[in-house]
A and B are shown apart, each in its own frame.
Chain A
Amino acid sequence: MSETVGFLTDTTLCIGCKACEVACKQWNQLPDDGFALTGRSYDNTTALGASTWRHVLFAEQTSTTHGIAWKMMSDVCKHCERAGCLEACPTGAIIRTEHGSIYIQPDVCNGCGYCVPACPFGVVARSEDDGRAWKCTLCYDRLQGQLEPACAKACPTDSIEFGPIERLREKATARVKALREQGVDARLYGESAEAQPGTEGLHAFFVLNDRPEAFNLPPDPQVPTKGVGRSWLAAGLAAAGLAALAIGAALFGGTHD
């Protein structure tokens, strides 16, 4: 088992150049998303998807005191410590790699699509053409060759940093402290199990300069499988109840109406 690695994405450094999106598409040879404008600032991909594994958000905010604020963030698969997609996957196609990342094996995935609604961040998507589920691989192939992921390599401002998550955590904590001293409303998102019990911490976490909702991140994400025990118990009781109705109908009331 090699070291657990991940991403630290710092929104205060992002300039919205989309080099990460381009580098990701180029390295992974992903199909295009259609050439269209959405009218939502410079965000023309709008969401992570089967062929968009890095997505740059452009939040435009107007305020009476500061005029217009333009906040950018490069979104990516969070590679959760407790991964909803992995636990929901019925085929075992989704695995945790030796780098601690979550990887969908394309030769195993049968395209059931259950990982798609199982992700609390809306990361995984099923390709219409291909039929299988796809998402960020943390550049598994590059890691095998001791190269950092394409997005982190291409990022010109080091808004995306790649490394062992222990080191990234220290760095992020120090960064938030420094930003706060400068008067910036900075916060960490998903850096540890204590900070985000619903996912038990992310391997790709963020320094945010706004509320998580402003970047379409759920403030309190819950991996659905954490409550599956309660659901199975409810199912057992419901099945027993249905059996009781059937047996009751047979035993009580005789053979005449």
Chain B
Amino acid sequence: MTDAEIARAHERELDPERNDARAEAALQDAHHTAAAPDAAPIGDAAAHHEHVAPVPAVAASTTGYYDLPVVKAAPWKWFVPAYFYAGGVAGASSLLRGAALLARDRRLAKQLGRLAFAGEAIGAALLVADLGKPQRFHHMMRVVRPTSPMNVGTWILGASGLLGALELVRPSKRLDAATIAAMITGGGLATYTGVLIGNTAVPAWSHARTAMPALFAASAGASAASLLELAGVRSPLVRRFALAAKTAELVAARAVEASLGAGVVGEPLREGRSGKLWRGARWLQGASVIATVLRASRVAGALGTLAGVMTRFAIHEAGRASAADPRATLAPRT
């Protein structure tokens, strides 16, 4: 080694506890390790031979590698599908508030303003809670990056939240610039999550990357309208919007199913936990449309709310099932 190289080696950060060079991941926290789910522990196998389960022989896969997943599922907790719901309600409420002001219904506009801000505040809290390092949530705003829907979404949610807070402090009496701005960010809030999940290597999400934003938009509208119906808000505007958005949601769900196809990629929407949630949500939403037509608005609201929540969890769960299935990942792209 040259003198320069030796000097560079001496500059290396030293770990005071180990009196050793500190490596790339020396600061990675580790308390417990998760063993493979079907693995048998070997720890002190010789001493406790009778307690050690025989290692199962796993058949070699003819197509892939022991049928192990190729890609990894998003490591998100239930906070994220819950956010998809809350953010969707907030986005659609901001849009609908503009429409209410256009129809000179200030009472409805005020109610929608409150609903939008509640969705934004709860949604932001859910997102921060899901982070591995919640205290670093503001790192999301270090950059502006259009290839990262999560980054763009943070800016949209931030702007939307500010406009929502402004509306609470100083409610708009007509369709002014602040309302129109809130309508634009609301539209973004209701749809960017569809871009976010489509922009992954998870087959059940990415194969529907152009249909997902439409489903998220329609489902956001249906969810906001259902909450208003559930709260007993009597308004012809809400009723018409509820009918339109719920019908659009049923159509968009069909479009998502069609994008995934009848093969292995679409399987999570038909089978397993995600399939049950998805099909259940479709039936509930259909019943909700009928209830809205029959003017049973509280029933319609309850059914629609349940359908909206279930749709988000079905999509999240379908992503998990899809990532775990190597057949879906290795299937040719349509």
Contact = CB atoms under 8 A, between A and B. Distances in A.
B157 to A, nearest CB: 12
A245 B200 CA distance: 29
A65 interface: no
Interface in A115-139: 116-122, 124-134, 137, 139
B32 A231 contact: no
B147 A228 contact: yes
Contacts of B38: 38-39
Interface string B84-110: 000000001001101110110100000
Contacts of A224: 198-201, 206
B149 to A, nearest CB: 7
Interface string B241-255: 100110010000000
B330 A218 contact: yes
Contacts of B71: 117, 119-122, 218
A134 B25 contact: yes
Contacts of A257: 236, 239, 295
Given A38-B58, A235-B191, A242 B32 contact: no
B42 interface: yes
Contact of A220 (B200, B248, B326, B333): B333
Given A36-B39, A238-B216, A253-B236, A231 B199 contact: yes
Nearest to A50: B28
Interface residues of A, number: 108
A121 B192 CA distance: 24
A119 B330 CA distance: 14
Interface in A1-58: 27-41, 43-44, 46-47, 50-51, 57
B66 A40 contact: yes
Given A34-B33, A242-B245, A87 B147 contact: yes
B143 interface: yes
A112 B150 contact: yes
B116 interface: no
B213 interface: yes
B33 A31 contact: yes
Nearest to B21: A141
A122 B200 CA distance: 11
B160 to A, nearest CB: 12
B25 A28 contact: yes
B236 A88 contact: no
A64 interface: no
Contacts of A131: 29, 131-133
Contacts of A39: 38, 40, 55-58
A214 interface: yes
Contacts of B8: 144-146
Interface stretch (A89-97, A170-178, A180-188, A189-197): A89-97
Contacts of A90: 140, 143, 145, 148, 150-151, 154
B65 A87 contact: no
Contacts of A155: none
Contact of A118 (B64, B96, B201, B241): B201
